[in-house]
């Protein structure tokens, strides 16, 4: 019973943290593209790489049953899913380690990791996606660590559902198949798991094809050629991608990254089957996120970050030095790491140049500090016809549509600026 109490407290703590730091105004990036369809209330009827079927429709459902506006319905979905994900991370580490302190520490380390925390503060799909993936990882871990057969079918169910949120999760299919192979002797449960996954995935294809889309539609988008561009980089660019990916890991987990590496080693020594399942999952996601040709590729590392947080928890539990447990509370100081990093970088010439270049959406703070409270909004930016140092025409086009829609509902420009 105690572990469930801890899970609830962790949920409430991070619900408060994410709510307090949540955006004041609709941010830049893809935020307006998510809020607009929720405001219109038109259910998404296709599942392509960019429609995010389950996310948008869930936000619309919340809006309809609560009476909240599109912005607040989106906020409720994002921060609730984020806080629940942190609790599931706690439960997963608890299942592996049986240690309360290591599980709590791992949950806080993940909850305060930059990429996840940042996405809990803006309008994005990734915290809701993380919730389903964390349940998928929990099911696999419980199948291994507790030999609980009922979780084998649940793994296929959760992975299948996650594809309706973000098709990137197809990268986890090799690990899922390896997981089923590990439990091949449990024929009934493995069959149910595979069947659940295939039925849910097939439903995506049937939905799209029934509306005239191709079989490849779940994996493609008319908005850009990011995937093909990923194979057109120079050798130097690929090396830069690798270096940047390592920086992302360090910035997300700082000194605790060493414990994550230790956890990988200890898991290999203690449970090779579980190790290889999560190693394949990590390799596919990390590799894709590293070389994917988009400017905000840091978000695609989040599924890997969940796995790495589990490894940190396992590393904490296996290092038998008393000081490791005694100093595990230092995870509460992670926010100070972001504050100090921002201060240090802002003193450098490069940092000041970057801050000036990105000032239109918050400058250096937007990229190095997870909280979004009192942020610069895309609506006020568009109304005031401000200029950006980067091409953001797709944001302003959708912002103009949203502004026009709000005006038709009686909002003044001054009121819209505050949204």
Residue with tokens 């290092």: 319
Q: pTM for the complete prediction?
A: 0.95
Per-residue pLDDT, 390: 82
Per-residue pLDDT, 416: 86
Can you count the helices (H) and strands (E) in the chain? 22, 0
Alpha helices by DSSP H, listed for 146-186, are 151-163, 173-182
Digit-coded pLDDT (tens) for 182-239:
999 999 999 999 999 999 999 999 999 998 888 888 887 666 566 667 667 778 888 8
Structure-token pair, residue 113: 């990791």
| HSE-CB of 294 using CA atoms within 13 angstroms | 16
Q: In Å, how far from its chain's centre is CA 322?
A: 33
What are the CA-CA distances from residue 402 to residues 26, 28, 36, 396 (Å)? Answer: 11, 14, 6, 10
Per-residue pLDDT, 413: 85
How far is 82 from 112, CA to CA, in rounded Å? Answer: 11
Cβ atoms of 11 and 83 within 8 Å: the answer is yes
Give the pLDDT band of residue 327 (cuts 50, 70, 90): confident
Say if residue 395's pLDDT is above 60. yes
Rg (alpha carbons) of the chain, rounded to whole number: 21
Query: By C-alpha distance, which of 418, 376, 375, 372 is closest to 121?
Result: 372
> Once rounded to an integer, what is the mean pLDDT over residues 322-342?
89
Say if residue 126's pLDDT is above 80. yes
Cβ atoms of 363 and 342 within 8 Å: the answer is no
Per-residue pLDDT, 1: 56
Digit-coded pLDDT (tens) for 165-195:
999 999 999 999 999 999 999 999 999 999 9
Average pLDDT, the chain: 91
How far is 143 from 186, CA to CA, in rounded Å? Answer: 11
Per-residue pLDDT, 293: 67
Per-residue pLDDT, 214: 85
pLDDT above 70 covers a percentage of the chain that reads 96
Cβ neighbours of 251 (radius 10 Å): 17
Query: By C-alpha distance, which of 138, 131, 10, 6 is closest to 78?
Result: 131
Give the pLDDT band of residue 320 (cuts 50, 70, 90): confident
Per-residue pLDDT, 221: 67
What are the CA-CA distances from residue 29 to residues 156, 210, 320 (Å)? Answer: 32, 31, 44
Query: By C-alpha distance, which of 142, 144, 147, 177 is closest to 159?
Result: 177
Per-residue pLDDT, 237: 80
Say if residue 99's pLDDT is above 80. yes
Per-residue pLDDT, 88: 97
Give the pLDDT band of residue 333 (cuts 50, 70, 90): very high
Digit-coded pLDDT (tens) for 230-278:
667 778 888 888 999 999 999 999 999 999 999 999 999 999 999 999 9
Tell me if residue 159 falls in helix, strand or coil. helix
Per-residue pLDDT, 38: 93
How far is 125 from 165, CA to CA, in rounded Å? Answer: 7
Cβ atoms of 186 and 273 within 8 Å: the answer is no
């Amino acid at each position: 019973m105690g572990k469930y109490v801890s899970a609830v407290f962790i949920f409430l703590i991070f619900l408060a943290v994410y709510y307090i730091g949540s955006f004041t105004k609709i941010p830049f990036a893809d935020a307006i593209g998510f809020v607009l369809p929720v405001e219109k209330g038109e259910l998404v009827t296709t599942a392509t790489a960019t429609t995010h079927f389950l996310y948008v429709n869930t936000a619309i459902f919340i809006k309809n049953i609560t009476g909240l506006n599109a912005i607040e319905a989106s906020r409720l979905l994002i921060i609730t899913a984020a806080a629940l994900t942190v609790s599931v991370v706690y439960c997963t580490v608890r299942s592996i380690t049986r240690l309360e302190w290591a599980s709590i520490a791992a949950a806080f380390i993940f909850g305060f990791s930059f990429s996840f925390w940042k996405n809990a503060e803006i309008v994005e799909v990734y915290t809701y996606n993380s919730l389903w993936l964390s349940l998928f990882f929990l099911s696999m871990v419980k199948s291994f660590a507790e030999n609980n057969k009922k979780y084998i079918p649940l793994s296929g169910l959760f992975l299948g559902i996650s594809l309706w949120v973000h098709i990137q999760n197809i990268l986890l299919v090799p690990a899922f198949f390896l997981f089923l192979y590990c439990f091949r002797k449990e024929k009934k449960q493995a069959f149910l798991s595979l069947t659940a996954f295939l039925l849910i995935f097939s439903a995506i294809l049937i939905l799209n094809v029934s509306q005239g889309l191709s079989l490849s539609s779940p994996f493609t988008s008319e908005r850009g050629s990011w995937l093909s561009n990923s194979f057109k980089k120079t050798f130097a660019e690929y090396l830069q991608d690798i270096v940047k990916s390592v920086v992302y890991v360090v910035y997300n987990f700082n000194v605790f990254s060493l414990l994550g590496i230790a956890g990988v080693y200890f898991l290999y020594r203690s449970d090779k089957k579980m190790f290889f399942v999560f190693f394949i999952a990590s390799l596919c996601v990390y590799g894709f996120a590293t070389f994917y040709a988009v400017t905000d590729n840091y978000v695609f590392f989040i599924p890997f970050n969940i796995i790495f947080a589990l490894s940190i928890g396992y590393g904490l539990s296996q290092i038998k030095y008393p000081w490791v447990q005694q100093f595990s509370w230092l995870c509460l100081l992670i926010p100070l790491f972001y504050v100090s990093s921002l201060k240090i970088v802002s003193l450098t010439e490069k940092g000041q140049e970057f801050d000036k270049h990105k000032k239109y959406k918050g400058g250096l703070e937007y990229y190095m500090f997870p909280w979004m409270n009192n942020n610069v909004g895309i609506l006020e930016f568009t109304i005031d016809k401000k200029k950006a140092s980067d091409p953001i025409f797709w944001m302003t086009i959708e912002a103009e549509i949203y502004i026009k829609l709000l005006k038709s509902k009686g909002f003044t420009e001054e009121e819209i600026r505050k949204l």
